[in-house]
Copies of this chain bind each other. A is one copy, B any other.
Amino acid sequence: MSHPQVLFPQTTFTGPSLLQARRETIQQVTVKAQLKKLRETGQYECFNLKWQPIYDDKSRWPSPPPVYWDSDVAKWIEGACYMLTEQYDVEIDAAVRELVQMICDAQQEDGYIDVYFTVIEPGKRWTNLRDQHELYNAGHLMEAALAHSNYYKNDLLIEVIHKYIKHIRQVFGPGKEQKHGYPGHPEIELALLRFHSVTGNQDAYDLAQYFIEERGNPTGQDGMPYYEWEREQRGDSPWKRPDCYPMHPGLWYSQAHLPILQQKTIEGHAVRALYLLTGVANLVSLDELGIRAFTGKQQYLEAIRTLWNNMADKKMYLTGGIGAMMQWEGFGIDYFLPQGSDEGGCYNETCASIGVMMLAERLLHVELNSKYADVMELCLYNAGNAFAYVNQLASSEKDKNIRAAWFDTSCCPPNVSRLFGSLGGYLWDYGGHGQDVFVNVHLYTTAKVSFQVDEYAIVFEQKSNWPWEGNIMFQLEAPPSANTTVRLRIPTWANGKFTLTPTLKPATIKHGYLALPPSYIRNNKAFSIQIHGFEPRYISPHPYTNQHTLALARGPLIYCVEDVDNPWEQDHFRNVGITVGSPVSEQKCMIDDMDEHYIGLRATGWVRKVNHRSHTEPGQAPGFTVAAEATKEAKELTFIPYYLRANRGGKGHMRVGLLNVD
């Protein structure tokens, strides 16, 4: 299976583009800044297994920060290795080498590696899978090992992981003496399957399958759900629970309320849910691609489709954000999508949208459907892109529109580094057998991929000014005897409208992809497509969300209003509306000190006057007497792409969805 994290070096970003600009920032600034942060916090040293004063702090129950430190280091190594692949840096190289050596030395005789349960609570290994993160940390170590081996071309970390997997395989499984558990925070499943794909490690595959199939078993251990059983073993009351569990026992938080095959709605912690489903999609795709048979394939694929549809149709924001509920960083009930914390929610963690991208990428190998790529792109350019930990759609006095200094959070920035480091692997899917070659293009930018299908060397290039303009030029280099099929995504918002040059008749779109057959490609090594639909459009969330809002979008970008462009605003645009069909004008803009170019939008909207109430003093019975005419004042509104929000000062007022009615 062609994981983007493995294949990305085959893709080169060959010219300027929005994605490439982001990649450069991350390579030049982010990875080093993260390293600085790792050193400041003590994380850099953690694998030396020496006591640190912070380990005494037990105030954050049940998971003090050092519980996750292994994964923070591992994620940094992974992102750093992606960066080194493209651009050597002596400091980064030295740090990776030192950290990897520390990890190797930290491995215990039996193969176990985990700082917290080696140094801080050594007697408590594997006693709280529900809340702790040993298996999650292990998963990230595996991903670091793969990235490390990919760049350094040695098996230093890979060997460590083989040994650790062997140990984990002994601890967990269906055997009488084994624990029938699974990770509270899924991640290891997708990591194990990647590890299996690269190294062929059989235990890795078996463990991943076991964790996926055993998950949610209501009678898994001594007739109980595993997490309930281990809780009883610890002697904890069922009512003693982390704050992210609003009620006991809260198994849904960790995706353990039901076996995956029985879940009909996506629930709980969003990142956990998406990482888990990515692992399941991996398992399915290994069968689909003929790499390894999986008897549950059809059933699990159906389960993923059900949960994907529930998510996209009922639990996803216009920006691709997921996770309305801050308390459990996860999903609320169907259609509960308030725009900000002062309206009842809107957490939308960046990592969760990155999880959506990972899942979408895996699904595109199993069934080519532009709905997955559309959502993947939506997340990439909007909720999954920002250097913000959360991505609310509207600010409030309590939760202003502020770009967090990215290094103050531990989880999302490294994930952004990993994503953008391996981004080349998300652009397209390609391969073939014998003479038959295919390239499925999911994302447009300026980039080139070089790959081999049997004896055929293929080079395929795209050039565009995406996401600002819809024209993309393609160039294929392939031996004359290759039968190459190229499939191009036609985004749903293009409404099937495009102009292909030279033309192809009949040109049919199947599941959102325009297929260019070998006959076309043979005659046109260079061709271009103009994707239509770049005029600004009014979009709204599903009517059942009760939002009654309108937002502006253009191509894959969602727009917002900010007070810096609309300085008259005093109340977070709570009373600001727009009217469907009002003309929208475009404007080339630039943020000088960031050298950031973008297309801004302008439209005439209005401000609602809330003072038309019949109430004369505070504390009267609720209920406005409604008059047929309401007061509105026209206002010129300036919009900026959501991903650029909070970059230019201002008072911190921002909103995506504006009123569409008074």
Pairwise interchain contact B546-A619, C-beta atoms closer than 8 A: no
B-contact bits for A382-420, CB 8 A (1 contact / 0 none):
000000000000000000000000000000000000000
**Is the contact region of chain A dominated by helix, strand, or loop, or is it mixed?**
loop
Given A548-B548, A618-B313, check contact A542 B493 (CB 8 Å). no
Residues of chain B contacted by A247 (CB below 8 angstroms): 243, 246, 327
Residues of chain B contacted by A608 (CB below 8 angstroms): 543
Chain copies in complex: 2
Pairwise interchain contact B625-A544, C-beta atoms closer than 8 A: no
User: Shortest distance in angstroms between A389's beta carbon and chain B's nearest beta carbon?
Assistant: 19
Residues of chain B contacted by A568 (CB below 8 angstroms): none
Within 8 Å by CB of A553, from B613, B619, B623, lies B623
Pairwise interchain contact A622-B243, C-beta atoms closer than 8 A: no
Nearest chain B residue, comparing its CB with the CB of A371: B620
Given A305-B619, A313-B618, check contact A626 B342 (CB 8 Å). no
Pairwise interchain contact A342-B333, C-beta atoms closer than 8 A: yes
Nearest chain B residue, comparing its CB with the CB of A579: B628
B-contact bits for A150-176, CB 8 A (1 contact / 0 none):
000000000000000000000000000
Report the bound CA distance from A436 to B594 in whole Å. 78
Pairwise interchain contact B617-A371, C-beta atoms closer than 8 A: yes
Pairwise interchain contact B626-A540, C-beta atoms closer than 8 A: yes
Given A247-B327, A371-B619, A548-B548, check contact A628 B580 (CB 8 Å). yes
Residues of chain B contacted by A627 (CB below 8 angstroms): 580
Interface stretch of the complex, out of A234-242, A293-301, A599-607: A234-242
Nearest chain B residue, comparing its CB with the CB of A610: B543
Nearest chain B residue, comparing its CB with the CB of A314: B622
Q: Within A313-345, which residues are at the interface with B (CB < 8 Å)?
A: 313, 316-318, 320, 327, 332-336, 338, 342-344
Q: Within A579-613, which residues are at the interface with B (CB < 8 Å)?
A: 580-581, 608, 610, 613
Residues of chain B contacted by A61 (CB below 8 angstroms): 237, 239
A309 lies within 8 A of chain B by Cβ: yes
Given A61-B239, A344-B332, A661-B661, check contact A541 B623 (CB 8 Å). yes
Report the bound CA distance from A374 to B344 in whole Å. 29
Q: Within A264-319, which residues are at the interface with B (CB < 8 Å)?
A: 305, 308-309, 312-313, 316-318
In the complex, the 4 A-B pairs of residues with the closest C-beta atoms, listed nearest first? A240-B240, A539-B623, A309-B619, A661-B661
